[in-house]
Protein backbone atom coordinates (compact mmCIF):
# COMPACT_ATOMS: atom_id res chain seq x y z
CA UNK A 1 0.00 0.00 0.00
CA UNK A 2 1.48 3.34 -1.09
CA UNK A 3 1.40 6.38 1.19
CA UNK A 4 -1.29 7.92 -1.02
CA UNK A 5 -3.42 4.77 -0.76
CA UNK A 6 -2.84 4.62 2.99
CA UNK A 7 -3.94 8.23 3.43
CA UNK A 8 -7.06 7.58 1.33
CA UNK A 9 -7.88 4.55 3.50
CA UNK A 10 -7.38 6.57 6.68
CA UNK A 11 -9.61 9.33 5.37
CA UNK A 12 -12.35 6.82 4.51
CA UNK A 13 -12.20 5.32 8.02
CA UNK A 14 -12.21 8.78 9.61
CA UNK A 15 -15.21 9.95 7.62
CA UNK A 16 -17.08 6.74 8.49
CA UNK A 17 -16.41 7.37 12.19
CA UNK A 18 -17.69 10.95 11.92
CA UNK A 19 -20.94 9.66 10.41
CA UNK A 20 -21.60 7.71 13.62
CA UNK A 21 -21.88 10.96 15.59
CA UNK A 22 -25.47 12.05 16.18
CA UNK A 23 -27.09 15.22 17.46
CA UNK A 24 -26.65 15.76 21.19
CA UNK A 25 -23.68 13.43 21.58
CA UNK A 26 -20.66 13.92 23.82
CA UNK A 27 -17.69 12.78 21.76
CA UNK A 28 -14.11 11.89 22.62
CA UNK A 29 -11.67 13.34 20.06
CA UNK A 30 -8.69 11.09 19.34
CA UNK A 31 -5.09 11.97 18.51
CA UNK A 32 -3.14 11.06 15.38
CA UNK A 33 -3.34 11.21 11.61
CA UNK A 34 -6.47 9.06 11.20
CA UNK A 35 -8.24 10.84 14.06
CA UNK A 36 -7.39 14.13 12.35
CA UNK A 37 -9.39 13.04 9.28
CA UNK A 38 -12.33 12.15 11.56
CA UNK A 39 -12.07 15.47 13.40
CA UNK A 40 -12.16 17.42 10.14
CA UNK A 41 -15.13 15.36 8.93
CA UNK A 42 -16.97 15.91 12.21
CA UNK A 43 -16.38 19.66 11.95
CA UNK A 44 -17.98 19.62 8.51
CA UNK A 45 -20.96 17.58 9.77
CA UNK A 46 -21.53 20.01 12.63
CA UNK A 47 -21.67 22.92 10.18
CA UNK A 48 -23.76 21.16 7.52
CA UNK A 49 -26.21 19.36 9.83
CA UNK A 50 -26.27 21.93 12.66
CA UNK A 51 -25.41 19.17 15.12
CA UNK A 52 -25.23 19.99 18.82
CA UNK A 53 -22.06 18.11 19.79
CA UNK A 54 -19.56 18.53 22.62
CA UNK A 55 -16.07 17.15 22.20
CA UNK A 56 -13.54 16.08 24.84
CA UNK A 57 -10.01 15.85 23.41
CA UNK A 58 -7.47 13.16 24.28
CA UNK A 59 -4.50 15.55 24.01
CA UNK A 60 -3.53 19.19 23.74
CA UNK A 61 -3.01 18.77 20.00
CA UNK A 62 -6.38 17.05 19.50
CA UNK A 63 -8.04 19.94 21.30
CA UNK A 64 -6.29 22.50 19.11
CA UNK A 65 -7.35 20.69 15.94
CA UNK A 66 -10.95 20.36 17.17
CA UNK A 67 -11.16 24.08 17.91
CA UNK A 68 -9.85 24.85 14.41
CA UNK A 69 -12.69 22.72 13.03
CA UNK A 70 -15.31 24.55 15.09
CA UNK A 71 -16.06 21.69 17.49
CA UNK A 72 -17.23 22.94 20.93
CA UNK A 73 -15.08 21.45 23.69
CA UNK A 74 -15.48 20.45 27.32
CA UNK A 75 -13.36 18.65 29.92
CA UNK A 76 -13.97 15.58 32.08
CA UNK A 77 -14.70 17.99 34.93
CA UNK A 78 -17.84 18.94 33.00
CA UNK A 79 -18.71 15.65 31.27
CA UNK A 80 -19.00 12.40 33.23
CA UNK A 81 -19.62 9.95 30.37
CA UNK A 82 -19.04 10.08 26.63
CA UNK A 83 -21.41 8.59 24.08
CA UNK A 84 -18.69 7.81 21.55
CA UNK A 85 -14.95 8.26 21.16
CA UNK A 86 -13.08 7.91 17.87
CA UNK A 87 -9.35 7.25 17.80
CA UNK A 88 -6.64 5.53 15.78
CA UNK A 89 -4.39 2.62 16.69
CA UNK A 90 -0.92 1.33 15.86
CA UNK A 91 -1.92 -2.33 15.89
CA UNK A 92 -5.22 -4.23 16.13
CA UNK A 93 -5.41 -7.99 16.64
CA UNK A 94 -8.23 -10.42 15.87
CA UNK A 95 -9.76 -9.87 19.34
CA UNK A 96 -9.88 -6.09 18.71
CA UNK A 97 -7.16 -5.49 21.27
CA UNK A 98 -4.83 -2.60 20.50
CA UNK A 99 -1.39 -1.14 20.79
CA UNK A 100 -1.52 2.66 20.89
CA UNK A 101 0.80 5.49 21.77
CA UNK A 102 2.89 6.45 18.75
CA UNK A 103 1.37 9.91 19.09
CA UNK A 104 2.57 10.10 22.73
CA UNK A 105 -1.00 10.62 23.97
CA UNK A 106 -1.66 7.13 25.35
CA UNK A 107 -2.60 8.19 28.89
CA UNK A 108 -5.18 10.75 27.79
CA UNK A 109 -6.47 8.33 25.16
CA UNK A 110 -6.94 5.55 27.72
CA UNK A 111 -8.70 7.84 30.20
CA UNK A 112 -11.11 9.03 27.52
CA UNK A 113 -11.70 5.48 26.30
CA UNK A 114 -12.50 4.33 29.83
CA UNK A 115 -15.44 6.75 30.15
CA UNK A 116 -16.87 6.09 26.67
CA UNK A 117 -19.97 4.02 25.96
CA UNK A 118 -18.64 3.28 22.48
CA UNK A 119 -14.95 3.29 21.55
CA UNK A 120 -14.51 3.43 17.77
CA UNK A 121 -11.04 2.69 16.43
CA UNK A 122 -10.08 3.70 12.89
CA UNK A 123 -7.23 2.06 10.99
CA UNK A 124 -5.91 1.24 7.54
CA UNK A 125 -5.19 -2.42 6.66
CA UNK A 126 -1.49 -2.18 7.56
CA UNK A 127 -2.43 -1.95 11.26
CA UNK A 128 -4.03 -5.43 11.45
CA UNK A 129 -1.84 -8.07 13.09
CA UNK A 130 -2.19 -11.65 14.27
CA UNK A 131 -0.36 -10.89 17.51
CA UNK A 132 0.22 -7.58 19.30
CA UNK A 133 3.81 -6.38 19.12
CA UNK A 134 4.40 -8.12 15.81
CA UNK A 135 5.32 -4.88 14.04
CA UNK A 136 5.24 -1.99 16.48
CA UNK A 137 6.99 -1.50 19.80
CA UNK A 138 4.88 -1.04 22.92
CA UNK A 139 4.97 2.52 24.32
CA UNK A 140 5.39 2.87 28.08
CA UNK A 141 5.01 6.32 29.65
CA UNK A 142 7.08 6.88 32.77
CA UNK A 143 8.37 9.47 35.24
CA UNK A 144 11.74 10.84 34.00
CA UNK A 145 13.51 10.44 37.36
CA UNK A 146 12.57 6.74 37.33
CA UNK A 147 14.12 6.03 33.92
CA UNK A 148 16.84 3.65 35.18
CA UNK A 149 14.71 1.46 37.49
CA UNK A 150 11.85 1.38 34.97
CA UNK A 151 14.28 0.30 32.24
CA UNK A 152 15.68 -2.48 34.41
CA UNK A 153 12.21 -3.69 35.38
CA UNK A 154 11.11 -3.82 31.73
CA UNK A 155 14.24 -5.72 30.78
CA UNK A 156 13.45 -8.30 33.48
CA UNK A 157 10.09 -8.80 31.74
CA UNK A 158 11.93 -9.60 28.51
CA UNK A 159 11.52 -6.19 26.84
CA UNK A 160 14.10 -4.06 25.06
CA UNK A 161 13.24 -0.43 25.90
CA UNK A 162 14.41 2.47 23.76
CA UNK A 163 13.90 6.04 24.92
CA UNK A 164 11.81 7.96 22.37
CA UNK A 165 13.73 11.02 21.21
CA UNK A 166 12.36 14.22 19.70
CA UNK A 167 12.63 14.67 15.94
CA UNK A 168 12.84 18.46 15.73
CA UNK A 169 14.22 19.07 19.24
CA UNK A 170 17.11 17.89 21.33
CA UNK A 171 16.28 15.37 24.03
CA UNK A 172 13.42 12.96 24.70
CA UNK A 173 9.80 13.32 23.63
CA UNK A 174 7.84 14.87 26.52
CA UNK A 175 4.16 13.93 26.90
CA UNK A 176 1.30 16.24 27.87
CA UNK A 177 1.82 14.98 31.44
CA UNK A 178 5.53 15.91 31.43
CA UNK A 179 6.59 12.24 31.29
CA UNK A 180 8.93 10.36 28.92
CA UNK A 181 8.27 7.28 26.76
CA UNK A 182 10.08 4.00 26.27
CA UNK A 183 9.27 2.16 23.05
CA UNK A 184 9.63 -1.46 24.07
CA UNK A 185 10.25 -4.42 21.78
CA UNK A 186 9.19 -7.87 22.96
CA UNK A 187 10.00 -11.06 21.08
CA UNK A 188 6.40 -12.07 21.65
CA UNK A 189 3.41 -10.72 23.59
CA UNK A 190 1.73 -14.05 24.23
CA UNK A 191 -0.13 -12.86 27.34
CA UNK A 192 -1.18 -9.23 26.83
CA UNK A 193 -3.24 -9.07 30.02
CA UNK A 194 -0.43 -10.48 32.12
CA UNK A 195 2.09 -8.07 30.60
CA UNK A 196 -0.28 -5.12 31.10
CA UNK A 197 -0.60 -5.98 34.79
CA UNK A 198 3.16 -6.35 35.24
CA UNK A 199 3.93 -3.05 33.52
CA UNK A 200 1.41 -0.94 35.42
CA UNK A 201 2.81 -2.23 38.73
CA UNK A 202 6.30 -0.88 38.02
CA UNK A 203 6.88 2.20 40.25
CA UNK A 204 7.33 5.23 38.01
CA UNK A 205 5.22 3.90 35.13
CA UNK A 206 2.21 6.09 34.43
CA UNK A 207 0.64 4.08 31.60
CA UNK A 208 1.33 1.65 28.76
CA UNK A 209 -0.05 1.30 25.25
CA UNK A 210 -1.93 -2.00 25.63
CA UNK A 211 -5.63 -1.20 25.18
CA UNK A 212 -7.33 -4.49 26.00
CA UNK A 213 -11.07 -5.19 25.82
CA UNK A 214 -11.76 -1.51 25.17
CA UNK A 215 -12.60 -1.14 21.47
CA UNK A 216 -16.28 -1.71 20.67
CA UNK A 217 -15.90 -1.02 16.95
CA UNK A 218 -13.03 -1.07 14.46
CA UNK A 219 -13.38 0.74 11.14
CA UNK A 220 -10.85 -0.43 8.55
CA UNK A 221 -10.43 1.83 5.57
CA UNK A 222 -9.73 -0.69 2.83
CA UNK A 223 -9.61 1.94 0.08
CA UNK A 224 -10.91 5.40 -0.72
CA UNK A 225 -14.47 4.05 -1.04
CA UNK A 226 -14.55 0.93 1.12
CA UNK A 227 -14.67 0.60 4.91
CA UNK A 228 -14.98 -2.68 6.83
CA UNK A 229 -16.80 -2.39 10.19
CA UNK A 230 -15.88 -4.90 12.90
CA UNK A 231 -17.74 -5.02 16.22
CA UNK A 232 -16.83 -6.68 19.50
Query: Is residue 170 classed exposed, middle or buried when 0-12, 13-18 and 19+ CB atoms within 10 A define those classes?
Result: exposed
Q: Kindly tell me if the per-residue pLDDT of 188 is higher than 90.
A: no
Question: Length of the chain, please?
Answer: 232
Can you name the residues that pair with 177 across neighbouring β-strands? none
The class (CATH top level) of 3-129+213-224 is alpha beta
Statement: residue 168 has pLDDT above 90: no
Phi (first) and psi of residue 123, to 5 degrees = -145, 170
Domain extent listing, the chain:
3-129+213-224, 138-208
Choose the catalytic residue: 91, 109, 141, 207: 109
pLDDT above 70: percentage of residues in the chain: 100
CATH pick for 138-208 out of 3.30.70.2660, 3.30.930.10, 3.30.70.260, 3.60.10.10: 3.30.70.260
Q: Is pLDDT above 90 for 224? A: no
The tens digit of pLDDT for each residue in 30-70 reads: 999 999 999 999 999 999 999 999 999 999 999 999 999 99
Spell out a b/e string for 184-217, using b for 16 or more CB atoms within 10 Å of the CB, else e: bebeebeebeebbebbeebebbbbbbbbeebbbb
pLDDT reading at 1 higher than 90: no
Query: Coil, helix or strand for 215?
Result: coil
SS3 assignment, position 207: strand
Please, which residues have CB within 8 angstroms of residue 174's CB and are 6 or more apart in sequence? 166, 180
- For residue 109, indicate whether it is catalytic: yes
- d(C-alpha 216, C-alpha 218), whole Å: 7
Amino acid sequence: MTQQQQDAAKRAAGEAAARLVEDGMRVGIGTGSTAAFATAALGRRIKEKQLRVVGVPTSIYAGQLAREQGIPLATLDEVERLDLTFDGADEVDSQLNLIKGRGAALTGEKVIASVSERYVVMIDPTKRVERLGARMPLPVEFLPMAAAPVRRAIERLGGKPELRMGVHKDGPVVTDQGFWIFDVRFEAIDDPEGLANELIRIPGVLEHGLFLNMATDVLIGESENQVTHLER
